[in-house]
């Protein structure tokens, strides 16, 4: 994205009071299992009453707050205005062991080796800062968008998020983690299918996520119509998704 990433999320918060469009998905199929559920199970399973966890890119805070019973302290950092919603939710729920801070994840103010667990849920992966902040034997967990996410849609539009990158990144990720001094627990790709009931739902989804940071350009309506006509199924308009899940332990 050419604009600061948080600027897109600010725009979505101003328009919709939230980010993303998961509620617009009519159905989904996970032939390799649901990557989000696998990610959540790993992060929850790493908890403990003495452990401190950092959420990189905590967004509106729902996931962050759900971890409160599992950890001694949960810290969420977020540079966008979604921080306001996170703090409001925390106050409303009266949760005491969660802290939200507006910070740049690549340059935080935390001391070295401050956290037992660090995770990023479709957020940034500031490698140098993760290495600095994570304690020895600490765990890093990351779920991120794969190169082939919405590939058929982006190919038709001729642009999009990571448009020039193709295929798998697992070998590259494995090499970088080993070089940085991590033991790999999980490194897995997931392909899965989403379905949208109407073209209006798919249009609204694309307006709320950064698959195309400039969605709505002249010609996009025609591209969308062509895509919908070519990918209509009994379950709805098909969209292929791609995720990569990483769980690694620092030596």
Q: What is the CATH code for 5-250?
A: 3.40.50.150
DSSP result, 163-181: TT--S--HHHHHHHHHHTT
Distance (Å, rounded) from C-alpha 77 to C-alpha 79? Answer: 7
Distance (Å, rounded) from C-alpha 86 to C-alpha 61? Answer: 4
Write out pLDDT tens, residues 175-217.
999 999 999 999 999 999 999 999 999 999 999 898 998 999 9
Q: Tell me, what's the pLDDT at 6? A: 59
**Biggest CA pair distance of the chain:** 55
- Please state the rounded mean pLDDT for residues 101-113: 95
> At 236, is the secondary structure helix, strand, or coil?
strand
- Percentage of the chain surpassing pLDDT 70? 92
How does DSSP classify residue 61? S
Q: Where are the domains of the chain?
A: 5-250
pLDDT band at 249 (very low <50, low <70, confident <90, very high): very high
- Please state the rounded mean pLDDT for residues 72-94: 91
Q: Tell me, what's the pLDDT at 64? A: 96
Distance (Å, rounded) from C-alpha 16 to C-alpha 12? Answer: 6
Distance (Å, rounded) from C-alpha 78 to C-alpha 151? Answer: 28
Q: Which two tokens stand for residue 119?
A: 């995770």
Write out pLDDT tens, residues 14-40.
565 555 678 899 999 999 999 999 999
Q: Are strands 134-145 and 115-121 parallel, antiparallel or unpaired?
A: parallel
């Amino acid at each position: 994205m050419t604009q600061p990433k948080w600027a897109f999320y600010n725009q979505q918060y101003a328009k919709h009071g939230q980010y993303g469009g998961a509620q617009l998905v009519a159905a989904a199929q996970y032939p390799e299992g649901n990557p989000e559920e696998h990610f959540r199970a790993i992060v929850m399973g790493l908890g403990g009453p003495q452990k401190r966890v950092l959420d990189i890119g905590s967004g509106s805070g729902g996931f962050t707050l759900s971890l409160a019973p599992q950890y001694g302290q949960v810290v969420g950092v977020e540079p966008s205005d979604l921080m306001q919603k996170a703090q409001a939710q925390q106050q409303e729920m009266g949760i005491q062991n969660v802290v939200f801070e507006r910070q740049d994840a690549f340059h935080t103010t935390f001391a070295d080796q401050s956290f037992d667990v660090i995770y990023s849920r479709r957020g940034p992966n500031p490698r140098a800062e993760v290495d600095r902040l994570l304690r020895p034997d600490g765990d890093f967990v990351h779920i991120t968008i794969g190169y082939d996410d919405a590939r058929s849609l982006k190919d038709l539009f001729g642009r999009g998020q990571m448009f020039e990158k193709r295929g798998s990144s697992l070998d590259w990720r494995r090499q970088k983690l080993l070089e940085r001094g991590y033991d790999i627990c999980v490194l897995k790709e997931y392909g899965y299918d989403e379905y949208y009931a109407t073209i209006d739902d798919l249009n609204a989804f694309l307006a709320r996520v950064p698959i195309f940071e400039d969605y709505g350009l002249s010609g996009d309506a025609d591209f969308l119509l062509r895509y919908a006509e070519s990918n209509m199924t009994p379950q709805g308009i098909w969209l292929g998704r791609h995720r990569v899940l990483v769980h690694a332990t620092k030596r």
